[in-house]
Amino acid sequence: MTTLSTGATPVPAATGTVETTYREALREALREALREDDRVFLMGEDVGMYGGCFAVSLGLLEEFGPERVRDTPLSESGFVGAGIGAALAGLRPVVEIMTVNFSLLALDQILNNAATLSHMSGGQLHVPLVIRMTTGAGRQLAAQHSHSLEGWYAHIPGIKVIAPATVEDARGMLWTALEDPDPVLLFEHGTLYTMTGTLPRDAGHVDITRAAVRREGRDVTLVSYGGTLHKALAAADVLAGSGVAAEVLDLRSLRPLDDATIAASVRKTHRAVVVDEGWRSGGLSAEVSARITEQCFYDLDGPVERVCSAEVPIPYAQHLEQAALPQVDQVVAAARRVVG
Amino acid sequence: MTTTPAQARTMVGTAILRIVPDADVDGVSPDADLRQTFDLDSLDFLSFVELLTQQSGVRIEEDDYPELATMASTQAFLARRSG
Amino acid sequence: MAADFTMPSLGADMDAGTLVEWLVHEGDVVHRGDPMAVVDTDKSAIEVESFDDGVVQTLLVEPGARVAVGTPMARLGPAEAPAPVAPAPVAPAEVPAAPAAEAEAPAPVAAAAGPAPAVQPATEPVTTPRRRAARPPARPRAHPASPPVRHHAAELGVDLTSVDGTGAGGRVTRADVDRAAAARHRPPAAARRVSPYARRLAEELGVDVDQVVGTGPGGAVRADDVQAAAVPAARREAPEVAPAEPAPAAPTPPAPARAAGSRDAIAALMGRAKREIPHYYVATTVDLGPLTDWLRRTNRERPVAERLVPAAALLRATALAARAVPELNGFWVDGRFVPGEDVHLGVAVSVRGGPLVAPAIHGAADLDLPTTMQRLRDLVARARAGRLRRAEMAEPTLTVTDLGDQGVEEVIGVIYPPQVALVGVGRVVERPWAVDGMLGVRPVVRLTLSGDHRATDGSTGARFLATIDRLLQHPEEL
């Protein structure tokens, strides 16, 4: 397997890049994993015949057969548990859970088994399992399919939690996650599947531990991840129009958090706004904000602001759903408050 | 154990870097005046002596200070005193 | 949405009214319910309130004019900022850098855009409320204010009894409250909000945070405010987007940007010193033979870390001399000398690649020589690491600048205002020296004193240097 860090080596634009979508990039990553490592298999509800509830695995059953692409019964606890067993036995399962809301049925397996076995066995057992799931709102799927609970998982020691927000990360994170000896949860924001982007033809693995500076600025740091990255970038565009240079961070890894990159940015800008589609109370934004205060207190020139979802179950009606979610103008307003 | 010239050079370099963190210690010629090259005032020089003493175990009196003028003289001094 | 403020019908039989007085100025932010104008209806003078929120763009009618009901009298524009958090119409750039500038400032605050003089009540210039609002003690009597204005004041935490009204009959308008809120220079220390970064920066730049005007929410002092206070007021003409200047991005060493800021501060301070202080200079050469002999002896018995250097002994002697000649230890304030309560000896330290700072050794006359030495090492180390404490940057009563290590034999320095003297120390050099009719080679040092001739005369300076000389001849007693 060749490892190329994407973007590092310039390639001729005409022949070296390909226009793709976040969905296709995820599929290409699955295809590569299935092709390159025969221990890898995919399972979940409707991943085979139907091609995945969000069509990520479309065509893979035909390409790799029912042994490698397995439809499961509607029992998250059951098939996540099976994935843990397969991982313990030496395979490299990729388990798809339709949405993060449904993952709660498998929370016992994830928390009490996958996350703990390495510690409880004194390192004798490893669970090299990757669980993919959709998170987030914005598609009128109502309160039981739309929440952003990745922050809950980021609370749990023993697992890693990553959130690809770009096409490049959708393409490159899976393989790195499969190489990890311990469980990795990969959160795909539902509104990103149709996002297009350009990838080098030979795009490959990416690091899954570091946050990325997606836009540089000196006045305020906008901390985001997954679906909120693009709102933060849009907000930075608006802010640039009024002379405020916002730096946009993409956390990429929600557990562990890349404290060094966050702190370096805040020490530069002295101000921070955390944008999180999760709820504010007890959420990931609270964790990020607390760490900024712990590590950068004497560099802060104002309170850390947060822009989060309204504290309601995500509504169905489109205007209510949009009203409940973090929006660009709220990010802009928060940034202006801290910049003054 | 006699302090070798290489060891002495390392000790001087380490001490200078503690006092002047961005100093170019590798680039200093053997006969350059250390106080002038690194802009050491009397307090810095005292720190320098202190750090050299810590590293080499050689007690350095004020009367010895002239022997610490350059890299070469310091190397010679430490070799002689530690022998 | 723009809206007109029109002559209202204030009774069924009213078809026209006379504008007596405007209660707002162009540029004022007004809210529904705020008094806008006084109108004479032929029966009585009535205060008319706004029906809309917005900014007064244009006053269309002059006081004294009689206009028909329904005639537009003022044009309101939409309030610029949608955020309700930003109530103050005072642009930050208009806030003077230091309270000292306050009295001079014409304070065009809200009325900047309009032909203000035409609409002001003659007896009450716009400047007064601002200046008065800054006066700390509360007044016993409350000024009349409408309920919306009371509510607004409560929200901003403004005490209405301390606000002078510019409205009719001394009535407090919303704009008065906003001005009072913006002009609260010095809330009680406990209530003062200073961002952690601003506090740190103030210490590093030697700025007294209590003197800084905060432009953040609730008057919070932020980094920009500190930086603005650190540079002379003239620099503030620069546009708010100044990419190079307010960015001490690198947190650790004194960055060039900060050095540049300090350069400005030094330029301002030294410029002031040479403009205002009539310096006199006296100098003497002191035999350091006894001191160097004594130091050599005592240092032989000391661990390396506790050795003493001549600079420490010179500081110690200077501190004792400052106590013996108190006329040189203190400040020139408001045309007279104010003696320092103790000897806080400023030590000019040049920071590698950075600015000159002069932090103080507090109570220097009460420290013995080994302690003085420790304090000096500690102070210089922290000054160079950018870790000075705020108290150390507070007024030294007398400053010593020792350039001996830089190789010069004599320093004739510039006094740091408001201090009244500066001691210069040169390099210790060996010179032919006659003692008791015999010529010998002795280590000597050139000491100078720059004195403020307003505070003392040359004879005082001479007495001071002679005292140092005498003290240095008996180093064991230092």
Residue C295 sits at the chain B interface (C-beta within 8 Å): yes
Which residues of chain C make contact with B60, given a CB cutoff of 8 A?
Answer: 304
Question: Longest Cα pair distance anywhere in chain B, in angstroms?
Answer: 32
pLDDT of residue C43: 59
For chain C, the maximum distance between any two Cα atoms, rounded to a whole number of angstroms, is 114
In DSSP terms, which residues pair with C16 in a beta bridge? C68
Architecture field, domain B5-82? Orthogonal Bundle (1.10)
> What pLDDT sits at residue C384?
76
CB under 8 Å to B82, separation ≥6 — which residues? B1, B2, B3, B56, B57, B58
Instruction: Please give the Cα distance from C306 to C465 (Å, whole number).
Output: 28
Average pLDDT over residues A305-325: 96
- The DSSP 8-state label assigned to residue C68 in this structure reads E
Q: Residues of A with CB below 8 A from C95's CB?
A: none
On the question of a common fold for A13-200 and A212-339, the answer reads yes
Q: Which residues numbered 54-73 in B keep a CB inside 8 Å of some CB on C? A: 59-63
Q: Match domain A13-200 to its CATH number in 3.30.565.10, 3.40.50.1010, 3.40.50.970, 2.60.40.150.
A: 3.40.50.970
Answer with the residue of higher pLDDT: C270 or A247: A247
Question: What mean pLDDT do residues A208-236 have?
Answer: 97
Contact with chain A for residue C220, Cβ under 8 A: yes
All residues of chain A having their beta carbon less than 8 Å from the beta carbon of residue C198 are 301
Report d(CA B10, CA B46) in Å as an integer: 18
Chain C residues near residue A218 by CB distance under 8 angstroms: 243, 247, 249
Q: In angstroms, rounded to a whole number, what is the distance separating the alpha carbons of residues C124 and C168?
A: 11
**Which tens digit of pLDDT belongs to each residue from C406-451?**
788 999 999 988 899 999 999 999 999 998 888 999 999 999 999 9
Question: What is the reported pLDDT for B39?
Answer: 84
Which residues of A are tagged catalytic?
76, 145
Inter-chain CB proximity B42 and C295 less than 8 Å? no
Q: Hey, are the CB atoms on C310 and B50 less than 8 Å from each other?
A: no
Tens-digit pLDDT profile for residues A135-153: 999 989 999 999 999 999 9
Instruction: Give the HSE-up count for residue C219: Cα atoms under 13 Å, Cβ half-sphere.
Output: 23
One CATH from 3.20.20.70, 3.40.50.920, 3.40.50.1110, 3.10.180.10 for A212-339: 3.40.50.920
Query: Of B35, B36, B41, B59, which to mutate for an interface test with C (greatest number of C Cβ within 10 Å)?
Result: B41
pTM of the model: 0.47
Chains contacting C (3+ CB pairs below 8 angstroms): A, B
Q: In terms of pLDDT, which residue wins out, A4 or C29?
A: C29
With CB atoms and an 8 Å threshold, state whether C300 touches B20: no
Q: Are C447 and C425 in contact (CB under 8 A)?
A: yes
Nearest partner of C117 among C63, C197, C55, judged by Cα: C63
pLDDT at A28 over 80: yes
Below-70 pLDDT ranges, chain C: 1-2, 10-13, 41-45, 80-144, 147, 169, 183-191, 231-262, 352-355, 386-394
Is any Cβ of chain A less than 8 angstroms from the Cβ of C200? yes
Residue in chain C closest to B63 (alpha carbons) equals C296
Q: Which residues of C touch B43 (CB under 8 A)?
A: 309, 311, 376-377, 380
Q: How would you write chain A as a 3-class SS string?
A: CCCCCCCCCCCCHHHHEEEEEHHHHHHHHHHHHHHHCCCEEEEECCCCCCCCCCCCCCCHHHHHCCCCEEECCCCHHHHHHHHHHHHHCCCEEEEEEEEHHHHHHHHHHHHHHHCCHHHHCCCCCCCCCEEEEEECCCCCCCCCCCCCCHHHHCCCCCCEEECCCCHHHHHHHHHHHHHCCCCEEEEEEHHHCCCEEEEECCCCCCCCCCCEEEECCCCEEEEECCHHHHHHHHHHHHHHHCCCCEEEEECCEEECCCHHHHHHHHHHHCCEEEEEEEECCCCHHHHHHHHHHHHHHHHCCCCCEEEEECCCCCCCCHHHHHHHCCCHHHHHHHHHHHHC
Distance CA C147, CA C155 (A): 12
Mean pLDDT over A250-271 rounds to 97
- Chain C positions in Cβ-Cβ contact with residue A297 (cut-off 8 Å): 196
pLDDT at A123: 93
Q: Distance (Å) from the C-alpha of residue A263 to the closest C-alpha of chain C?
A: 11
- B: neighbours with 3+ CB pairs under 8 Å? C
Interface of C with A in 129-148 (CB under 8 A): none
Residues C406 and B44 sit within 8 Å (Cβ to Cβ): no
Domains of chain C: 1-183 (2.40.50.100), 189-261 (4.10.320.10), 278-477 (3.30.559.10)
Write down the H helix ranges in C206-342: 223-230, 256-276, 289-300, 310-324
Q: Structural domain boundaries of chain B?
A: 5-82
Inter-chain residue contact C222 with A337, CB threshold 8 Å:
no
How many B/C residue pairs have CB atoms within 8 Å? 38
> C200: which chain A residues are within 8 Å (Cβ-Cβ)?
298-299
Query: Given a contact as 3+ CB pairs under 8 Å, which chains touch A?
Result: C
pLDDT at site C106: 40
Answer whether C382 touches B (CB < 8 Å). Answer: no
pLDDT of residue C8: 82
Q: What is the mean pLDDT of residues B22-38?
A: 87
Q: How close C214 comes to chain A (CA, Å)?
A: 11
Give dist(CA B18, CA C384) in Å, integer.
Answer: 12
List chain A domain ranges: 13-200, 212-339
Q: Which of A268, A298, A340 sits opposite C200 (nearest CB)?
A: A298
CB < 8 Å from C in window 306-335 of A? 333
Q: Length of chain C, please?
A: 478
* Least confident among A98-102, A121-125, B1-5, C465-469: B1-5
What pLDDT, on a 0 to 100 scale, did the predictor assign at position A272?
98
ipTM: 0.80
Cβ contact (<8 Å) for A302 and C220?
yes
Which has the higher per-residue pLDDT, A270 or C303?
Answer: A270
Pairwise CB contact (< 8 Å): B46 & C377: yes
- Please give the residue of chain C at the shortest CA–CA distance from A242: C241
Per-residue pLDDT tens for B54-82? 888 888 888 889 899 999 999 899 888 87
